[in-house]
Each structure stands twice: as structure tokens, then as C-alpha cells.
């Protein structure tokens, strides 16, 4: 009983981490940069979804589409303002710039959305259904399906389709890619828009299980980055797998050993795992071509 | 908080104090250091309202020691360092003769040693941390009209025994100093009753899923849950219980009162019974009627009972201000040591929460006891008292 409920909880929460972590994967494989405002992008998705669906009463599909579009737009802004100016000069300052961008967004939302946490009700998170004796909300079963589905889609798109391969070519050699007729800047910008849209989607999926407030994404962002590294950031499958494992370990440690020790044990496991597998679960070492 | 908002608040407080026809040159200044911005901004607003209504009443009768009373408000942003600086500024530059504290225990704990050293009376109106008033100072200037964690914990245990005949309660506590303070208090209260507990589980502010912790408590045979957490994490506990289909009674500290608990936790929020010191709901005393009327008049945005929130902040602050001014009047002076002595010899005062008869003694600086706590729950978005 204890274990079954831990497994169900762990897979549901873990797939949320995986979904946000896929956003780190997408920009990394295209440009070797990541957007550390991923947690804030997730929050943005949830806040916008709440605004359109609950406050303005739009139909759900329209509210979701509009929120995703605005999240993607945020990704374009992040790339243009916080990443490109630094990355093109070979500077690593985009690390700090994207962290700062996230903090700015959190505070803008704090002042516009307000200080009080709000609820984003959904019929998918009201009546629990029985799964091997443990209760789950239907939404908790949908999130892993969406997460795994997106991981598979990304893997196929990057490795089996021409536009996908073109995106991957950018990271290997920008000049060669440009000569082959690939628009490098658009490719990178697209990857950022896709990554923030994924985070926004995660935010809207999590919102009914959680409450919406301006700093809801902070801890998710950090855990998702740990998951991305653990999975080997270059593999979509690896990232999703790491997310599920992270959630499982977190829930099982809490259930079997006790919540006082959860954070200590889980993060210790991450450090050990990275020491043993420096390239993550399914990642591979980047060959340095001279 | 921006300088502008601070000035506006200051101006509002000043206008309230100078409401009389004559613009008094010499006023009796009192300071408030509380969270006026950030997550707990609503608490600061409630405290300002309670204090201001009491000041208006006193000033309408001519003030204290022949002077009008004036309130100076400073924002601590829930930050102990900022609170300490603000207290220093109020005492040393503005020469306030008394300080009031806000919601955050850590901020009050940072201010109290300064108040004791400078012999300025400090009055807590919200923060429930035990060591604020029980601070071990030889000359203790910290008083309080609010709940006290160790007494709350006793009251939670008593309620669980009386209402639910608990044999083996479990604890689900937020993982921060507040949770820790109550872990200690609950353990002591249970030890006094020689009652075992099923377990102690912690959770984080950002935890989406508390089912693993709750399942442990369930397997250990918990028949009642003691909950200590603010409004958003408390609602995650309720949602997780819903999912498990576990219908265990929940007896809670006052965290859920701080926000939109019934919106966040859904219909099951009703099953959380939490402690309060005061509620404006139900049949009101004449005193409560008059305070409510004054609030509505002074703050037009208050239209219904749902807007008088959090009621505890308003009520504690209102009574605390009256007790402070009574002490100053009784002392016939604003000198700290004399006011402190006067706190021990206050005349009987019919307050909003209760009638205070010798509320403070040299060994007890807390005006409210566990008899003054009431248990409440959310019903259709309003906090309603529960009858035993």
C-alpha cells in the first residue's frame, strides 16, 4: 500500500520534472545554452492559463493555445535579449542573464497577478480514481502520457526528420550549417520558443494539482535542471527517464524512510549518480573536434 | 516596499492621528514594524486598521496625557534585519514611546532585545513564537495580545481529545522554524497527557504531493492530524487527503486563515478546524458591533464580513493598542520603566476579544490564554466559529 501509493505519486510528480527538463534539453542540443528562467516560464504558463481560462472565462483550448503562444514569445525575448548578445560574443554571461530574467519575471507577476496564491480548478483533478488501491486524479495519469509523448516526438523529430537534423547541425558547426543554407539565428530562436512553450504547458498541467503564485516555478526549475543533467541533457529519452526516476526516488524515500531525510538523500543520490555517470543516464560525452 | 507607498501609509496614519480640528504640535508617537509588502502584506494592513480604530477612539476623547496619539508605520518586508533597523529608527529618531510588532516571529525576535535594552515597551499583536515574550531578559519589555505557540499546541491537543477522542494523533508540519517550534510544543503537550503519537512528518512549501507523508501517518494508525503550515501548503495537505480518500479529522494552527483557503483546498477545506483568537461572524457583542461600524466607515472597501480579514490581526491590534494607551495613562508618563510597571496594574478593560482583568503579571506577559482561543472553519469562503 505504502509502496504503491509512492510509485503512483512519484511517477506523476516525476513526469512534471521531466516535462520542464525537456525544455533545457531542446535549447542545449541546438545551441549549447540553456534558459535558467525555465521555472519562471512554467509559472508564466500557469498564470496566463489562469488569467484566460478562469478570469476571462475563455474556452479551455483557446486559453491554452494563447498561453502557449505567449510563453513561446517570452522564449524569443529571452533568446534575443538575454542569450544571443552574450553567446555570440563567446561569453557565458547568458547563465546569469537568464537567471536574472527569471527573477524579473517572478517579480513582475508578483505585482500584476498579486500576492495571494490562487486556485486553477479542473474537472481532471477533482474525483480521484482507484489505481491498485491508491487514489490518483486523472490529470496525474495524463501528465506522464504527455511527457513521454513529447520526449518520443522530440527524439524522432531531431533524429528522423530533415528540419530536426538541421537544428542539430547548428550546434556542431555554425558556419558549416549557415553555408548549407540553414538560418542559424532562427533555428536557435525557435528552440528557445519551443522550450518555454514546453515549460508553460507543464505549468498549466501542474496548476490544478497545485496553487498558482509568482514563485511556484522556482523549486521546479531547480529540480528540473538536476533532472536534465542527470538524464544526460543531450537525450530526450534520458531526460524523461531521469525525471520519472527522480520522482520515484523522492516519493519512495519519503514513504519508506521519512520526509525529514528526503532532500538530503535525494540530492546526495544525484551527486553520486553524476560521479559514477558523468554524462548522465543516456547522454554521451561530446567529442571535442579540433 | 517603495518609498512612495511607505510615505502614503505614513500619511494615512498621520491623517488618522490628526483627525481632530486642532493640529496638535505635540503628539504621543507609537510605532508599528510589520510586513506591509510581500506575501504577508494583508496581515500588516489588518494590524494598521485595528490600531488606527483604537487610536481614533482615544483621540476623540482627547488623547492620552493631554496629547493626541500618532501611529508611525514601517515595513519590515518580513525581514528580521530590516525590522531591527526600522525599530531603531523609530525609537532613536522619531522618539516613539512604544513599539508594535507584526506577523513574523523572526522579526519580533530581532526587535525584542533592542526594546529591552532601550526600555521601550514592545507589544506583539500577531507573531505567536513562544520566545518573543518569554525571552529570559531580567527586565522584560515585551508584551503580547495574540496566540502563543506553546498554548496553541496545548489547545490543539485538548480539542483533539475533547472533540475526536483521539488516542494516537499524527503531525504534519511545514519544514521551517515555525513548524519546528510547534513540533516541540505539540510533543510537550502530548507528553503532559501521556499520549503517544503516530508520527511526525514534514513537508515543503513547494510540495505538490503530500500523499507519501500522509500514508506513513495513516499506516502508523493516526486518528487525528495536527497541521501547521501557511495557507497554500495547508491546501496541498487537504488535496492529498482527498486523493487518498482518508477522512481523518484535521486540527490546525491558524495558517489557513491567512488567505483564500477554501478556493485553494476546495470543498474539503471545511474539514480543517483551525484556531483563532477572534471572529466577527455570528452574534456580535456591542463592542464588536461598534468596531465593525467604525471599520466600515473608515475603510469604505470593507463591505461584508468576508472583507474584515484577517479578523485576528484587527482584533488583537485593537485590544493591544487600548492596553498600551491604558498603561501609559496609568503610568502618567511615557518613560519605559514606569509604563512597564503600569502594565502590571492595569484597570479592568472591556475589550473586543474579552474583558481584560489584570492581563499581565511580572511572570506572564501574554494577555490571551488558551481559554480565549476559538476553533473555526471555512464555510463558503468565510471563517465561522465551531461550537463544541
Condensed to tens digits (0 to 9), the pLDDT of residues B49-64 reads 999 999 999 999 999 9
Residue A114 lies in a domain: yes
Residues B16 and B57 in one domain: yes
Which residue in the set A16, A216, A254 is minimally distant from B213, CB to CB? Answer: A254
Residues of B in contact with A252 (CB under 8 A): 212
The cell numbers describing B93, all together, are 529618531
Residues B212 and B320 in one domain: no
Round to whole Å and give the CA distance between B143 and B145.
7
pLDDT for residue A275 is more than 80: yes
Looking at every residue in chain B, the average pLDDT score rounds to 90
Round to whole Å and give the CA distance between B92 and B72.
13
Instruction: Tally the C-alpha atoms within 13 A of residue B29's C-alpha that lie toward its C-beta.
Output: 16
Residues of chain B below pLDDT 70: 1-25, 39, 388
Residues B160 and B209 in one domain: yes
Residue A179 lies in a domain: yes
Q: Does A251 touch chain B (CB under 8 A)?
A: yes
- Residue B16 has a pLDDT of 52
Q: Where are the alpha helices (DSSP H) in B21-72?
A: 41-60
Which residue in the set A117, A216, A259 is minimally distant from B203, CB to CB? Answer: A259
- Residue B20 has a pLDDT of 43
Residue B69 lies in a domain: yes
Residue A286 lies in a domain: no
Q: Does A46 touch chain B (CB under 8 A)?
A: no
Give tens-digit pLDDT for A65-99: 999 999 999 999 999 999 999 998 989 999 999 99
Who contacts A274 (Cβ-Cβ below 8 Å, separation ≥6)?
A229, A230, A280
Residues of B in contact with A5 (CB under 8 A): 211-212, 215, 244
Residue B279 lies in a domain: no
Q: Note whether B77 and B37 are within 8 A (CB).
A: yes
- Residue B230 has a pLDDT of 86
Who contacts B147 (Cβ-Cβ below 8 Å, separation ≥6)?
B128, B254, B275, B277, B312, B368, B373
Record: contact B212-A255, CB cut-off 8 A: yes
Residue B51 lies in a domain: yes
Residues B201 and B214 in one domain: yes
Domain count, chain B: 2
Residues B101 and B228 in one domain: no
Q: Note whether A69 and A179 are within 8 A (CB).
A: no
- For residues B367 and A132, the model is more confident at B367
Record: contact A128-B263, CB cut-off 8 A: no
Give tens-digit pLDDT for A240-251: 999 999 999 999
Residue A210 lies in a domain: yes
Residues B119 and B252 in one domain: no
Q: Which of B243, B274, B305 is the last residue of a domain?
A: B274
Looking at every residue in chain A, the average pLDDT score rounds to 89
Round to whole Å and give the CA distance between A85 and A108.
23
Residues of B in contact with A263 (CB under 8 A): 204
Record: contact B231-A128, CB cut-off 8 A: no
Residue B359 lies in a domain: yes
Phi, psi of B367 (to 5 degrees): -75, -25
Chain A: give the shortest CA distance to residue B369, in Å.
Answer: 30
Q: Which residues pair with A136 in a beta bridge?
A: A129
- Residue A174 has a pLDDT of 83
Domain count, chain A: 1
| Three-state secondary structure readout of chain A | CHHHHHHHHHHHHHHHHHHHHHHHHHHHHHHCCCCCCHHHHHHHHHHHHHHHHHHCCCCHHHHHHHHHHHHHHHHHHHHHHHHHHHHCCCCCCHHHHHHHHHHHHHHHHHHHHCCCCECCCCHHHCCCEEECCEEECHHHHHHHHHHHHHHHHHHHHHHHCHHHHHHHHHHHCHHHHHHCCCCHHHHHHHHHHHHHHHHHHHHHHHHHHCCECCCCCHHHHHHHHHHHHHCCCCCHHHHHHHHHHHHHHHHHHHHHCCHHHHHHHHHHHHHHHHHHCCCCCCCCCCCCCC
pTM above 0.95, yes or no: no
- Residue A262 has a pLDDT of 85
- Residue B7 has a pLDDT of 60
Q: Does A287 touch chain B (CB under 8 A)?
A: no
Residue A282 lies in a domain: no
Residues B339 and B301 in one domain: yes
Residues of B in contact with A139 (CB under 8 A): none
pLDDT for residue A1 is more than 60: yes
Residues B8 and B143 in one domain: yes
Q: Note whether B101 and B124 are within 8 A (CB).
A: yes
Q: Note whether A218 and A46 are within 8 A (CB).
A: no
Give tens-digit pLDDT for A164-186: 888 888 888 888 888 888 888 99
Residues B125 and B158 in one domain: no
Q: Which of A175, A280, A153, A171 is nearest to A229 (CA)?
A: A280
Strand-by-strand arrangement of the B142-144 sheet: B68-75, B27-34, B99-101, B122-124, B142-144
The cell numbers describing B84, all together, are 531591527
Instruction: Tally the C-alpha atoms within 13 A of residue A253's C-alpha that lie toward its C-beta.
Output: 19
Residue B62 lies in a domain: yes
Neighbours of A85 (CB within 10 A): 13
Q: Note whether A221 and A39 are within 8 A (CB).
A: yes
- Residue B207 has a pLDDT of 87
Q: Residue B228: is it exposed, middle or buried by C-beta count within 10 angstroms (0-12/13-18/19+)?
A: buried
Residues of B in contact with A218 (CB under 8 A): 206
Q: Does A118 touch chain B (CB under 8 A)?
A: yes
Q: Which domain holds residue B248?
A: 150-274
Vertex A121, ends A222 and A56: CA angle to 5°? 100
Round to whole Å and give the CA distance between A274 and A267.
11
Residues of A in contact with B242 (CB under 8 A): 128, 135
Residues 259-278 of A with CB under 8 A from B: 259-260, 263
Residue B290 lies in a domain: yes
Q: Note whether A69 and A131 are within 8 A (CB).
A: no
Residue B114 lies in a domain: yes
Q: Which of B250, B274, B298 is the last residue of a domain?
A: B274
The cell numbers describing B1, all together, are 516596499
Residue A193 lies in a domain: yes
Residue A14 lies in a domain: yes
Q: Note whether B345 and B360 are within 8 A (CB).
A: no
Give tens-digit pLDDT for A50-70: 999 999 999 999 999 999 999
Which residue in the set A2, A128, A218 is minimally distant from B245, CB to CB? Answer: A128
Residues B314 and B254 in one domain: no
Which residue in the set B202, B215, B244 is minimally distant from A255, CB to CB? Answer: B215
Q: Which of B215, B239, B274 is the last residue of a domain?
A: B274
Best mutation site among B5, B42, B209, B247 for testing chain A: the one with the most A CBs within 10 Å? B209
Interface of B with A (CB under 8 A): 38-39, 41-42, 175, 201-204, 206, 208-209, 211-213, 215-216, 219, 231-232, 235-236, 239, 242-245, 259-260, 263-264, 266
CATH number at residue A55: 1.10.3470
Q: How confident is the model at residue A260 (pLDDT cuts 50, 70, 90)?
A: confident
Round to whole Å and give the CA distance between A273 and B161.
47
Which residue in the set B38, B208, B232 is minimally distant from A209, CB to CB? Answer: B208
Q: Residue A133: is it exposed, middle or buried by C-beta count within 10 angstroms (0-12/13-18/19+)?
A: exposed
Q: Note whether B148 and B128 are within 8 A (CB).
A: yes
Record: contact A117-B259, CB cut-off 8 A: yes
Record: contact A209-B259, CB cut-off 8 A: no
Give the three-class secondary structure for B228.
strand
Residues of B in contact with A125 (CB under 8 A): 239
Give the three-class secondary structure for B115.
helix
The cell numbers describing A33, all together, are 545554452
Q: Which domain holds residue A246?
A: 2-276
Round to whole Å and give the CA distance between B370 and B360.
15
Enter the ipTM.
Answer: 0.85
Residue B47 lies in a domain: yes
CATH number at residue B126: 3.40.50.2300
The cell numbers describing B246, all together, are 482518508
Q: Note whether A41 and A79 are within 8 A (CB).
A: no
Residue A287 lies in a domain: no
Residues B106 and B169 in one domain: no
Phi, psi of B98 (to 5 degrees): -160, 155
Cis bond leading into B306, ω under 30°?
A: no
Residues of A in contact with B257 (CB under 8 A): none
Q: Which of B344, B340, B337, B341 is nearest to B359 (CA)?
A: B344
Q: Note whether B356 and B318 are within 8 A (CB).
A: no
Residues of A in contact with B243 (CB under 8 A): 128, 135-137
Round to whole Å and give the CA distance between A59 and A119.
17
Residues B108 and B72 in one domain: yes
Amino acid at each position: 500500500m505504502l509502496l504503491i501509493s509512492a510509485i503512483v505519486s512519484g511517477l506523476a510528480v516525476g513526469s512534471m520534472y521531466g516535462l520542464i527538463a525537456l525544455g533545457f534539453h531542446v535549447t542545449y542540443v541546438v545551441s549549447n545554452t540553456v534558459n535558467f528562467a525555465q521555472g519562471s516560464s512554467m509559472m508564466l504558463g500557469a498564470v496566463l492559463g489562469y488569467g484566460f481560462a478562469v478570469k476571462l472565462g475563455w474556452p479551455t483550448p483557446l486559453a491554452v493555445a494563447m498561453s502557449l503562444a505567449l510563453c513561446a514569445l517570452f522564449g524569443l525575448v529571452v533568446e534575443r535579449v538575454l542569450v544571443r548578445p552574450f553567446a555570440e560574443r563567446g561569453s557565458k554571461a547568458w547563465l546569469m542573464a537568464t537567471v536574472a530574467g527569471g527573477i524579473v519575471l517572478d517579480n513582475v507577476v508578483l505585482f500584476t497577478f498579486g500576492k495571494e496564491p490562487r486556485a486553477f480548478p479542473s474537472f481532471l483533478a477533482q474525483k480521484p480514481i482507484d489505481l491498485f488501491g491508491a487514489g490518483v486524479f486523472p490529470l496525474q495519469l495524463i501528465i506522464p502520457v504527455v511527457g513521454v509523448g513529447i520526449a518520443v516526438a522530440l527524439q524522432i523529430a531531431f533524429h528522423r526528420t530533415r528540419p530536426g537534423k538541421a537544428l542539430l547541425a547548428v550546434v556542431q558547426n555554425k558556419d558549416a550549417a549557415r553555408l548549407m543554407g540553414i538560418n542559424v539565428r532562427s533555428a536557435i530562436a525557435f528552440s528557445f520558443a519551443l522550450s518555454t512553450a514546453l515549460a508553460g504547458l507543464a505549468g498549466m498541467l501542474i496548476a490544478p494539482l497545485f496553487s498558482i503564485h509568482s514563485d511556484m516555478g522556482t523549486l521546479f526549475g531547480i529540480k528540473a535542471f538536476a533532472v536534465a543533467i542527470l538524464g544526460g541533457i543531450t537525450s530526450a529519452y534520458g531526460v524523461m527517464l531521469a525525471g520519472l526516476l527522480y520522482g520515484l526516488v523522492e516519493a519512495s524515500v519519503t514513504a519508506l524512510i521519512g520526509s525529514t531525510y528526503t532532500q538530503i538523500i535525494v540530492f546526495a543520490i544525484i551527486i553520486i549518480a553524476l560521479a559514477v555517470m558523468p554524462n548522465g543516464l543516456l547522454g554521451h560525452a561530446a567529442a571535442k573536434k579540433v | 516596499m517603495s518609498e512612495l507607498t511607505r510615505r502614503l501609509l505614513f500619511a494615512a496614519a498621520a491623517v488618522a492621528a490628526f483627525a481632530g480640528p486642532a493640529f496638535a504640535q505635540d503628539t504621543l508617537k507609537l510605532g508599528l514594524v510589520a510586513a506591509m509588502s510581500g506575501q504577508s502584506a494583508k496581515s500588516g494592513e489588518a494590524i494598521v486598521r485595528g490600531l488606527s480604530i483604537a487610536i481614533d477612539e482615544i483621540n476623540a476623547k482627547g488623547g492620552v496625557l493631554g496629547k493626541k496619539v500618532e501611529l508611525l508605520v514601517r515595513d519590515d518586508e518580513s525581514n528580521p534585519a530590516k525590522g531591527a533597523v526600522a525599530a531603531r529608527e523609530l525609537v532613536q529618531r522619531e522618539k516613539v514611546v512604544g513599539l508594535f510588532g507584526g506577523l513574523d516571529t523572526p522579526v519580533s525576535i530581532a526587535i525584542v532585545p533592542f526594546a529591552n535594552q532601550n526600555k521601550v515597551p514592545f507589544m506583539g499583536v500577531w507573531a505567536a513564537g513562544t520566545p518573543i515574550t518569554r525571552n529570559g531578559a531580567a527586565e522584560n519589555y515585551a508584551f503580547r495580545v495574540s496566540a502563543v505557540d506553546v498554548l496553541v499546541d496545548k489547545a490543539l491537543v485538548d480539542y483533539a481529545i475533547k472533540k475526536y477522542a483521539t488516542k494516537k494523533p499524527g503531525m504534519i508540519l511545514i519544514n521551517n522554524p515555525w513548524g519546528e517550534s510547534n513540533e516541540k510544543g505539540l510533543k510537550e503537550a502530548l507528553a503532559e497527557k501521556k499520549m503517544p503519537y503516530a508520527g511526525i512528518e514534514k513537508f515543503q512549501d513547494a510540495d505538490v504531493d503530500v500523499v507519501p507523508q500522509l500514508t506513513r501517518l495513516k499506516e502508523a494508525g493516526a486518528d487525528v492530524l495536527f497541521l501547521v503550515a501557511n495557507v497554500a501548503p495547508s491546501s496541498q495537505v487537504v488535496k492529498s487527503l482527498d486523493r487518498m480518500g482518508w477522512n481523518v479529522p484535521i486540527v490546525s494552527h491558524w495558517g489557513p486563515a491567512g488567505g483564500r483557503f477554501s478556493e485553494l483546498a476546495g470543498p474539503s477545506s471545511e474539514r480543517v478546524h483551525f484556531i483563532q483568537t477572534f471572529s466577527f461572524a455570528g452574534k456580535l457583542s456591542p463592542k464588536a458591533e461598534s468596531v465593525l461600524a467604525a471599520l466600515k466607515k473608515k475603510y469604505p472597501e470593507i463591505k461584508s464580513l468576508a472583507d474584515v480579514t484577517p479578523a485576528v490581526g484587527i482584533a488583537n491590534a485593537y485590544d493591544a493598542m487600548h492596553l498600551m494607551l491604558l498603561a501609559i495613562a496609568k503610568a502618567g508618563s511615557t518613560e519605559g520603566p514606569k509604563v512597564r510597571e503600569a502594565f502590571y496594574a492595569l484597570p479592568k478593560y472591556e475589550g473586543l476579544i474579552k474583558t481584560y482583568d489584570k492581563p499581565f503579571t511580572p511572570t506572564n506577559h501574554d494577555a490571551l490564554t488558551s481559554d480565549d482561543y476559538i476553533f473555526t472553519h471555512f464555510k463558503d469562503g468565510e471563517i465561522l466559529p465551531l461550537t463544541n
